[in-house]
Structure 1
Amino acid sequence: MGTLAPIVLYWVYAGGYQLILHRRPLERYRLHTRAEEEEKNLVSLPTVVRGVLLQQLVQAIVAMILFMVTSDSSITVVQPPIVVQIFQFLIAMLVMDSWQYFVHRYMHQNKFLYRHIHSQHHRLIVPYAIGALYNHPLEGLLLDTLGGAISFLVSGMTPRTAVFFFCFAVLKTVDDHCGLWLPYNIFQHLFQNNTAYHDIHHQLQGTKYNYSQPFFSIWDRILGTHMPYDLVSRKEGGFEARPLRD
C-alpha cells in the first residue's frame, strides 16, 4: 500500500491540475497561454501519460524491493520521536536535492546524454502537471528512483516515514510543473524553487540554469547556475516568468 500511495497521489494531484488548467477563470493564473502550450510542446498528452506510467512501474518495483530488504517482518518497527522524524525528513530533502542537482546538471552538460536521454523531458517546453515525471526510462531510474532510494537510506527513516516523504516529494514535483501561479498555493510561497523557477529552466534562455529540484535552490546559488526572474502580468491575462540575465 505504501508503494502505491505516491503513485495514486501523483495522478490525483496532477489530474486535478489538468482538469482546471484549461478552465477560463484560471487563464489569469497561467504562465503560458493555451496557444503556446499547443504550438511549442513537441509531445502529445497520451505519449506523456504512457511515459509517466512506465517510470512509475519501475519506481514501484524498486520501492517494493527496497522496503523488503530494509524491513524485518519479525520485528515491529517503532517510529522514532517526531523531532527525529523531522530531522530525517530534512536530511532526505537535502540528499535528494544534491543527487538530482548534479545528475540533472551533468545530463545537460554531456551532449550525448542530453540528446538521447534528457531531451525527452524538455520536449515539454511549456510544462504541465501530468508531465512532471515524463522522462526517458533511464533518466527516471537514475534521477528520480535512485535518488529517492539514496535519500531513504542515508536519512535512516523508517519505511512509514519514507512513504510520507515520497508523497511530499511527488506533490512538490507535480506543483513545480503545474504552469499556474496561484495566489494561495503554499508550495509557491514557501519555496523559492517553485513552478516559475522551474519554468525558467524549460525556456531556451534558462536551460543551463535553475537545475535545482525538487525542494531548494541551494546548489544553483552556490555553483552559479541560479537565474533570477521577474514575474510580470501579460496584457492578455496570466503571468510570464522573465529571466533577468542576458
Structure 2
Amino acid sequence: MGFAVSDELLGTVVPILVYWVYSGIYVALSPLEKYRLHPKVEEEKNLVSKPSVVKGVLLQQLVQALVSILLFSVTGSDAEFGKEKETSVMVTARQFITAMIVLDTWQYFMHRYMHHNKFLYRHIHSQHHRLVVPYAFGALYNHPGEGLLLDTIGGALSFLLSGMSPRTSVFFFSFATIKTVDDHCGLWLPGNLFHIVFKNNTAYHDVHHQLYGSKYNFSQPFFVMWDRILGTYMDYSLEKRIDGGGLEARPAKDLKED
C-alpha cells in the first residue's frame, strides 16, 4: 500500500527543498570568477556571517511553512471541494500570470516603503542589505518581520487572488523560489534563460544592493513595470571588471540622476 503525499504538504515543503538545492548549485559554481559580478574577495564587505544567513533563512522558511499549513487548512483542499478535475493549460497560465502580477505589486510597494521609511529601513529592511555582495542562499535572508510581510503575506495574496489550487501552487512557488535565488546568485552565466526572458534579473537586482542603486530597482521578483511606471528604474550595462575577472553591472551611461 503506497503512501500518498498531499498537494498541501508538497506545496509547503517542495519550495523549501528547491531553495536549498538550487542555491547549492550556485554555491558550487561560485568559484568561477569569470562569471561573477563581484570578485569573491568582496564578500568580505558583507556585514553578516554565512552561518547567520543560514539561520535567518531557516527561520523565515519555518514561518512560511506554518503560514502555508494554516492557509491550506483554511481554504481547504481540492478533494474537500470536489475540485480534482484537471485544470486546463490556459487556466493555469492565467493563474500564474495573475499570481506573478499580485506578488510583484505587493513586493514593489512594500519594498519601496521600507527603503523610504527610515525607521523600517534601520530596524528591519537593512538586515537584508547587510549582503552588499549577494549570494544565492542569502536570497531569503531578511528580518523575520520583513519575511512575514513581504514574502509570506505576498505569497498568500498571490495564492488567494489567483485562485490557484494547492497542486498548482507547488509549481508556482517553486518557480518563484528559483527566480528569487537566481536574482541573488551574483553570477552572470551564459545561456541563463532568466537573464534572457526577464529584465528583472541578477544584474538588475545587484544594482539595487549597491549604494548608488539603493533608491532604484525595487521590483521583484519577475517584472520591472512598477519601477518604469513610477520612475525608480535604473538601467545597467555589463562591463568587464577592472580586475580582469568577470562582468560588473554598472549604471547605464545615459542615466540621469535625480
Question: TM-score range with shorter-chain normalisation?
Answer: over 0.9
Map of 1:1-246 to 2, 5 A cutoff?
1-2=9-10, 3-22=12-31, 26-38=32-44, 40-72=45-77, 73-77=79-83, 78-235=85-242, 236-244=244-252, 245=255, 246=257
CA distance in 2, matches of 1:109, 1:68: 36
1:8 maps to a residue whose letter is L
- Counterpart-to-counterpart distance in 2, 1:4 and 1:157: 17
Give secondary structure in 1 for the equivalent of 2:176.
Answer: helix
Structure 2 distance, partners of 1:150, 1:48, is 26
What is the rounded CA distance, in whole Å, between the counterparts of 1:159 and 1:85 in structure 2? Answer: 12
Gaps of 5+ in 2: 1-8
Q: Structure 1: where are the runs of 5+ without partners?
A: none
Secondary structure (helix, strand or coil) at the match of 2:139 reads: helix
**Hey, what's the Cα distance between the residues in 1 that align with 2:241 and 2:145?**
38
Look up the equivalent residue of 1:56 and give its one-letter code. Answer: Q
| TM-score normalised per structure 1 | 0.96
Deviation at residue 74 of structure 1 after TM alignment? 3.4
TM-score using structure 2 length:
0.92
CA contact (8 A) 1:5 1:163 kept: yes
Q: Deviations for 1:119-138, whole angstroms, at most 9, x for unmatched residues?
A: 00000000000000000000
1:193-234 deviations in whole A, cap 9, x for unaligned? Answer: 000000000000000000000000000000000001110012
Give the AA of the match of 1:174: V
1-structure distance, mates of 2:81, 2:95: 21
The size of the alignment, in residue pairs, is 242
Deviation at 1:20, TM superposition (A): 1.6
d(CA) in 2 for partners of 1:80, 1:28: 44
Distance 2:233 2:215 in 1: 9
Tell me, in whole angstroms, the C-alpha distance in 1 between the residues paired with 2:165 and 2:52.
Answer: 35
| Amino acid in structure 2 at the alignment position of 1:241 | A
- Given that residues 127 and 179 in structure 1 are in contact (C-alpha distance below 8 angstroms), is that contact kept between their aligned partners in structure 2? yes
Looking at structure 2, the residues matched to 106 and 209 of structure 1 have their Cα atoms a distance apart, in angstroms, of 12
Moved over 3 A (4+): 72-76
Larger mean Cα displacement after TM superposition, 62-71 or 166-175: 62-71
Give how far 1:237 is off: 1.3
Tell me, yes or no, if the aligned pair for 1:79 and 1:158 is still in contact at 8 Å. Answer: no
Give the distance between the partners of 2:174 and 2:217, measured in 1 at CA: 23
Cα deviation code 1:173-211 (max 9, x no counterpart) = 000000000001111111000000000000000000000
Q: Which whole-Å CA distance do the structure 2 matches of 1:238 and 1:95 have between them?
A: 35
Supply the AA of the counterpart residue of 2:249: A
Deviation at 1:79, TM superposition (A): 3.5
Give the match's secondary structure for 1:230. Answer: strand
